């Protein structure tokens, strides 16, 4: 059973979410704890798989990928590993989730425009063992991916 985050872990993660380039010493100063405490917490969060790195936050639209689409894929039974491996080879596929319900996989993909999206969908449909797809284009993202509310609630406890 994984142990829960405590308030200091959550405060540290919030600090790094807001300012991912902060050093350990500055984190310690802002949190009012010893440098060794921050380093030990970071090491433990990394070992537990909670903290996977510090990638930059990228704006895909600013990079030329202004269209986001989601697709439900129905796949041949027992072929999830092979299909997800093939999907991961398509650069525009950003996420794949195995799901319950009507579809087997839920895919988030990006494209430069409608013609480019058609190309990406054709690649996805061309993956062996993909039986059927249903694609929707995202018009906006009123709630972007986030973990901040969960960290804030833990930090208050």
CATH at residue 42: 1.10.10.10
Domain with 70 in it: what CATH number?
3.30.70.920
Residue 157: per-residue pLDDT:
82
* Domain match, 27 and 66 both: no
Please tell me the total count of domains within the chain. Answer: 2
Residue 9 CB coordination number (10 Å)? 21
Count of residues in the chain: 157
Residue range(s) defining the domain that contains residue 51: 7-56
Helices 24-31 & 35-47 angle (0-180, nearest 10): 110
pLDDT tens digits for 22-76?
999 999 999 999 999 999 999 999 999 899 887 777 889 999 999 999 999 999 9
Residue 55: per-residue pLDDT:
74
Residue 2: is its pLDDT beyond 60? no
What are the tokens at 61? 């639209």
* Domain match, 33 and 65 both: no
* Domain match, 51 and 76 both: no
Tell me the percentage of the chain whose pLDDT exceeds 70: 98
Residue 1: per-residue pLDDT:
40
Over residues 80-96, the mean pLDDT reads 98
* Domain match, 52 and 66 both: no
Within 8 A by CB and 6+ apart from 82, the residues are 128, 129
154 in any annotated domain: no
Q: How far apart are the first and last CA of the chain?
A: 20
144 in any annotated domain: no
34 in any annotated domain: yes
Tell me the percentage of the chain whose pLDDT exceeds 90: 83
Contact 73, 133 (CB under 8 A): yes
* Domain match, 46 and 110 both: no
């Amino acid at each position: 059973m994984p142990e829960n985050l405590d308030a200091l872990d959550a405060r540290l993660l919030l600090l790094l979410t807001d300012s991912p380039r902060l050093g350990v010493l500055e984190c310690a100063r802002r949190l009012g704890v010893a440098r060794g405490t921050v380093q030990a917490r970071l090491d433990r969060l990394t070992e537990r798989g909670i903290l996977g790195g510090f990638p930059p936050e990228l704006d895909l639209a600013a990079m030329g990928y202004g269209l986001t689409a989601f697709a439900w894929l129905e796949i041949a039974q027992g072929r999830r590993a092979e299909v997800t491996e093939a999907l991961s080879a398509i650069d525009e596929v950003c996420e794949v989730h195995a799901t319950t319900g009507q579809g087997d996989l839920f895919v988030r993909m990006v494209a430069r425009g409608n013609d480019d999206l058609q190309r990406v969908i054709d690649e996805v449909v061309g993956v062996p063992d993909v039986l059927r797809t249903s694609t929707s284009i995202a018009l906006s993202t009123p709630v972007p991916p986030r973990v901040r509310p969960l960290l804030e609630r833990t930090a208050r406890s």
